[in-house]
Structures are given as C-alpha cells and as structure tokens.
C-alpha cells in the first residue's frame, strides 16, 4: 500500500464553519445532549466560559467532514474513519469561525491505516481541538 500519488505525505485539507446558535441547538436535538453548558445562557454566566459553548462532539463532526474530503482523494473503494484521538483545548463560542485541518502524517501499510494530524482553530488562530485521526483503508 503506498499513500498513492493522489494523497502524498503532508497533504492537508481544510473545512471552515461559523458555529451558530442554530447549529448548537440542532446538534443538541440530534444527539439529545441538552447539557446546560450548551443551551442555558444564565447557567453559563456562572461558569469559567461565561457563555454557552458548542459541543466538543460537533468539532469531531468537523474532523469527520475533512476526513471525507481525504477519503474522496483515495482510489476506490477508499477508507473509513477508524479512530479519533483528540482533546478539546479551548471552547467554541457561538459566532466563532472554526477551521478544521487534517494533514497526512504517517502511513502504516501493515495495518492498512493512514494517520492524520487534526487541529481545529478559531478565527483568532487559537487551537480548540488537537490530536489525530486514523483512516482504515478498505480496498
């Protein structure tokens, strides 16, 4: 397995999205996670964040979006997301514009895996998620 010329080592893809109140409430509705840190402004005034913040899992969804872009560049039949190893290092507030970036960092041919560095940053360049994700080749 190489990484194929369509996806050279160091290849980077990005996705940018401004997180709105509607996004957070829609995500809460889909997942059932109505934790007050996401939906109760009065509660949040007493937290270290001072306001509502987006779900961390929403950011993982952004990582998945970029993984889909990477997979589309692979020869058929491509691969599937296999593992997310991320940590949340900063809050995403309503109105923040988040850029999610994945970079191909390693290939593990013996395991049929591609490893990507993952990072989400807000409009000020502050990292809000970091880690890695693994794509399992299915062909």
Return d(Cα 47, Cα 42) in angstroms, integer: 10
User: Strand, helix or coil at 127?
Assistant: strand
Instruction: Give the pLDDT confidence of 55-106 residue by residue, as tens digits.
Output: 999 999 999 999 999 999 998 889 999 999 999 999 999 999 999 999 999 9
Q: Grade residue 139 by pLDDT with cuts at 50, 70 and 90.
A: confident
pLDDT of residue 4: 46
List Cβ neighbours of 40 (8 Å cut-off, separation of 6 or more).
Answer: 52
pLDDT of residue 1: 46
Q: Are 132 and 104 in contact (CB under 8 A)?
A: no
pLDDT of residue 27: 98
pLDDT of residue 3: 47
- What are the Cα distances from residue 105, in Å, to 35, 130, 132, 133? 35, 14, 9, 10
Q: Are 115 and 105 in contact (CB under 8 A)?
A: yes
Q: Are 127 and 121 in contact (CB under 8 A)?
A: yes
Going by C-alpha positions, the residue among 110, 55, 109, 111 that lies closest to residue 83 is 111
CATH 1.20.1090.10 fits 12-137, yes or no: no
pLDDT of residue 76: 86
pLDDT of residue 122: 98
Instruction: Give the pLDDT confidence of 10-59 residue by residue, as tens digits.
Output: 999 999 999 999 999 999 999 999 999 999 999 999 999 999 999 999 99
Return d(Cα 95, Cα 51) in angstroms, integer: 12
């Amino acid at each position: 397995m190489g990484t194929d010329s369509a996806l050279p080592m160091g290849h980077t893809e990005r996705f940018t999205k401004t997180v709105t109140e509607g996004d957070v409430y829609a995500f809460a509705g889909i997942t059932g996670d109505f934790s007050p840190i996401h939906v109760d402004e009065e509660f949040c005034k007493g937290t270290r964040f001072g306001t509502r913040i987006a779900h961390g899992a929403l950011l993982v969804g952004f990582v998945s979006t970029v993984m889909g872009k990477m997979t589309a560049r692979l020869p058929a039949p491509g691969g599937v997301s296999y593992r997310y190893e991320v940590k949340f290092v900063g809050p995403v507030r309503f109105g923040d514009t988040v850029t999610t970036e994945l970079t191909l960092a390693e290939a593990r041919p013996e395991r049929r895996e591609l490893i990507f560095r993952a990072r989400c940053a807000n409009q000020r360049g502050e990292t809000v998620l970091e880690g890695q994700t693994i794509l399992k080749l299915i062909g």
